[in-house]
Amino acid sequence: MDEQQQLVVMQLIMAGGNAKNAAFEAIRAAKIGDFKQAKAKLKEADHFLADAHQAQTSMLTAEANGQHQVVSLLMVHGQDHVMTAITFRDLAEEIVALYERLGEKSAS
How would you classify residue 66: left for phi > 0, otherwise alpha for psi between -120 and 50, otherwise beta?
left
The total of structural domains in the chain comes to: 1
pLDDT in tens, 20-29: 999 999 999 9
Summarize pLDDT for 80-94 with one digit per residue, the tens. 999 999 999 999 999
Residue 76 pLDDT: 93
Of the candidates 47, 68, 77, 81, the residue annotated as catalytic is 77
Please determine, for residue 39, whether its predicted confidence score (pLDDT) is greater than 80: yes
pTM of full prediction above 0.75: yes
CATH number for the domain spanning 89: value is 1.20.58.80
Name the residue range of residue 73's domain. Answer: 3-107
80 among annotated binding-site residues: yes
Assign 32 to helix, strand or coil.
coil
Instruction: Determine whether 77 is an active site residue.
Output: yes
